[in-house]
Amino acid sequence: MTPAVRPFKNQKFLNLKNECVKGGRLFEDPEFPASDESLSYSNAPPHSIQWKRPGELCNDPYLFVEGISHHDLHQGELGNCWFVAACSCLALHQALWKQVIPNWKKQEWDIKRPHKYAGIFHFQFWCLGDWVDVVIDDRLPSIDGNLIYCHSNVKNEFWCALLEKAYAKLWGAYESLDGGSTADAIADFTGAVIESIDLTDEKYSVNVAAQTRLFEQLLQVHRRGGLICCHLKAPSYHDREKVTPLGLVKGHAYSVTDIKKVALGEKTLCFGKTTKLFMVRMRNPWGKREWRGAWNDESEDWNKVSKSEKGKLGLTVRNDGEFWMTFEDWCKNFSNADICHVINTSLFSIKYKTWEKGETHGKWTQNADPLLNRSGGCFNNKSTFFQNPQYIFEIRKEEDEVLVSLQQEDQRIHRKSGKGHNFIIGFEIFKVEQNREYRIHKLQGQERVASSIYRNLRSIFLRKVLKKGRYVIIPTTFHLGITCDFILRIFTDVTSNFRELLLDKPSMTCWNMLWGYPKGVTQVSIRSVEGVNQQGVTEGSKIYVFMKCEHKIVTSQVNPNGTNTLFDMKAVFYRRSINKPIAVQIWRSKLMCDQFLGQVLLAASPNDPQEEQALQLYNKDDREAEEMPGWVNVKVVSSNDLLEL
């Protein structure tokens, strides 16, 4: 399904184009004028720039000449190799660039109907969960009849120059594109989920097993239409764009254009199997300067590969910025990689795995009232951490791989005011009571099961296998008191019922006036049940726990592990009648009728001990109740303050 698109600055492409065609004039964009203010906001441009339309730069302009290709692009004078690398990745996937360049055939120059040309184009970008349509005119910055920024290697092809202008307009000026992240640009082109990998810190250069796992992961991502980019970190600002002895540029973005297992030697009828070498194909956005190590374009290593295999790889011996290298050398020579997952959520897809997505737009906001504040900082800020936004989700399988992506609002738009730097962000995941419906206020009884990295990146990603249960994810800025929009996405195999926790405690309703409002809150944790085997319960018996508090009932999943059973079960109850005990019953699941194995009654007073206790099972609710074999290990925490848990 085509996503809904919002017009940027309320400029609607068709309306503007029709007005220009009827008026017989070419479009001039008042929102991004052909002037110095669209080029730079810090200093005057160093050259005398002329804004030229494509028809003034060549005789027969086109969006695409012989189709779109990752070979089309050259960086120009702007320091945006990261953007050009992202365009190279985009050009590899038709379904993706057609979203960014919508209805391109209708935007293409029509030599049969030149009067229909209005000098107006539009491009679409994914901005914090929404697709935005950006309209531009076709006046491009040039010097002596040549484009000074991103351009094609064919003089009359203009798709990349026009795309760059639309992207510059989105972020305020061309200067806003001077320095950035390839992964961020790819996310803006596709809505991809970004997974950042530090190849140096995670020792991929020396760990062969980790190398193999990473290669298989990247190969799968590439086959599924994902995009991959990388760079070699510069130790200092002065080292940027310095070239290593092996030909790689420090502080420079590269795009991965192919990943292959390359067969070495000729395949024969007698010996069908050949050795496979893990290899990646890279592209330098400069369109020149290549890898000079093993397996470079002119290396004799290629004599080990058959002519047919070379043909499949499209090997060329020319300085076009594209080169092959072994995956081992890739891990040794690059410091960081970004995997851009284009995650399939379509119910109609049968080729790739379909994920269930939960998504929310949120905001970190300040407020003097602790119950209304939503900018409490990271976990280090113990007193304010739980004031952050909170989101709950469920894992309904015994285990499920969960992908979590937190993306903050892009700050580049604020560079004109001297700001524009990403905030340090991250998130924490807690396993909570299986019936929790209200916000967490204290760490009491909550299990912290996962923590993301905290970095000043636009996107933070975590992949984690979680067990069945209910979880709360808390996205945060590192420092408290920061205001910023964000989008939080979670992908699971089965629908997770992902939603925000908005209420701090039960609401006051007309039913409360009839039945009474809760006077206290109790958390009950069941760790294990032991010693129930004297009632004919054998190994493999299916045991479960049943909790009842007033009219609320919580039941654990059935545990088949026999007489001594771990449960790790928690429930929270908001109690109207503090004097009524909470019943914890142990049952054996049977085909016809479940068997009662005993119970304990918990007074759950705020003054009771909060340590874990082993409580004997009984068979009745009254004082004459008889002991039954077995006991339950339970921890109870109660408070008269509904905001204590």
Q: Of 620, 573, 612, give the one whose Cα is nearest residue 596.
A: 620
Pairing verdict, β 582-588 and 595-602: antiparallel
* Domain boundaries defined on the chain: 5-190, 194-341, 356-500, 515-639
For residue 1, name the pLDDT band (cuts at 50, 70, 90): very low
Q: State the catalytic residues.
A: 81, 252, 284
What pLDDT is attached to residue 433? 95
Residues 6+ apart with CB under 8 A from 38: 32, 168, 169, 173, 174
Residue 304 has pLDDT above 90, yes or no: no
Rounded Cα distance, 136 and 307, in Å: 47
Rounded Cα distance, 250 and 160, in Å: 24
For residue 560, name the pLDDT band (cuts at 50, 70, 90): confident
What pLDDT is attached to residue 338? 92
Q: What is the 3-state secondary structure (H, E, C) of 16-42?
A: HHHHHHHHCCCCCCCCCCCCHHHHCCC
- Kindly state the DSSP code that residue 510 receives in the 8-state scheme: H
Burial class of 576 by CB neighbour count within 10 A (0 to 12, 13 to 18, 19+): middle
Rounded Cα distance, 25 and 137, in Å: 12
State percent of the chain over pLDDT 70.
93
Pairing verdict, β 193-198 and 627-639: unpaired
pLDDT tens digits, 432-455? 999 999 999 998 889 999 999 999
> 3-class DSSP state for residue 37?
helix
Instruction: Name the most confidently modeled range: 35-49, 170-184, 560-574.
Output: 170-184
Rounded Cα distance, 617 and 543, in Å: 14
Least confident of 26-40, 234-248, 298-312: 298-312
For residue 67, name the pLDDT band (cuts at 50, 70, 90): confident
> 3-class DSSP state for residue 461?
strand
The token pair at 292 is: 């000079």
Rounded Cα distance, 205 and 192, in Å: 27
The token pair at 563 is: 């007489």
Rounded Cα distance, 116 and 186, in Å: 32
pLDDT tens digits, 590-624? 878 888 889 999 999 998 888 999 999 998 776 67
Q: Which amino acid is at 280?
A: V
Q: Of 80, 86, 138, give the one whose Cα is nearest residue 107.
A: 138
The CATH fold of domain 194-341: Cathepsin B; Chain A (3.90.70)
Q: What are phi and psi of 85, to 5 degrees?
A: -60, -40
- Determine the average pLDDT of the residues in 558-566: 73
Q: Of 521, 559, 477, give the one whose Cα is nearest residue 641.
A: 521
Pair 524, 633: CB distance under 8 Å: no
Give the number of C-alpha atoms closer than 13 A to the C-alpha of residue 231, restricted to the C-beta side.
23
The three-point CA angle 163-168-170 to 5° equals 95
- Kindly state the DSSP code that residue 157 receives in the 8-state scheme: B
pTM (two decimals): 0.89
Residues 6+ apart with CB under 8 A from 110: 116, 117
Residue 3 has pLDDT above 80, yes or no: no
Rounded Cα distance, 15 and 7, in Å: 11
> What is the residue whose two structure tokens read 């199997």?
273
The CATH fold of domain 515-639: Immunoglobulin-like (2.60.40)
The token pair at 22 is: 């009827």
Q: What are phi and psi of 167, to 5 degrees?
A: -70, -40
Rounded Cα distance, 585 and 566, in Å: 15
Pair 330, 278: CB distance under 8 Å: no
The three-point CA angle 29-30-34 to 5° equals 65
pLDDT tens digits, 73-85? 778 877 788 888 8
Q: Of 236, 49, 54, give the one whose Cα is nearest residue 144.
A: 49
- Kindly state the DSSP code that residue 606 receives in the 8-state scheme: T
Question: What rounded mean pLDDT belongs to the chain?
Answer: 89
* Most distant CA pair in the chain, distance: 102
For residue 573, name the pLDDT band (cuts at 50, 70, 90): very high
Pairing verdict, β 627-639 and 73-74: unpaired
pLDDT tens digits, 359-370? 999 999 999 999
What pLDDT is attached to residue 2? 52
Q: Of 299, 355, 358, 352, give the one whose Cα is nearest residue 323.
A: 299
Residue 221 has pLDDT above 80, yes or no: yes
Pair 635, 612: CB distance under 8 Å: yes
Pair 14, 107: CB distance under 8 Å: no
pLDDT tens digits, 460-478? 999 999 999 999 999 999 9
Rounded Cα distance, 157 and 507, in Å: 62
Q: Which amino acid is at 501?
A: L
Domain 356-500 grouped into CATH 2.60.120.380: yes
Residues 6+ apart with CB under 8 A from 379: 385, 428, 448, 451, 476
- Kindly state the DSSP code that residue 156 receives in the 8-state scheme: T
Helix (H) or strand (E) run with residue 5 in it: strand 5-7
Give the number of C-alpha atoms closer than 13 A to the C-alpha of residue 159, restricted to the C-beta side.
28
* Bridge partner list, 196: 338
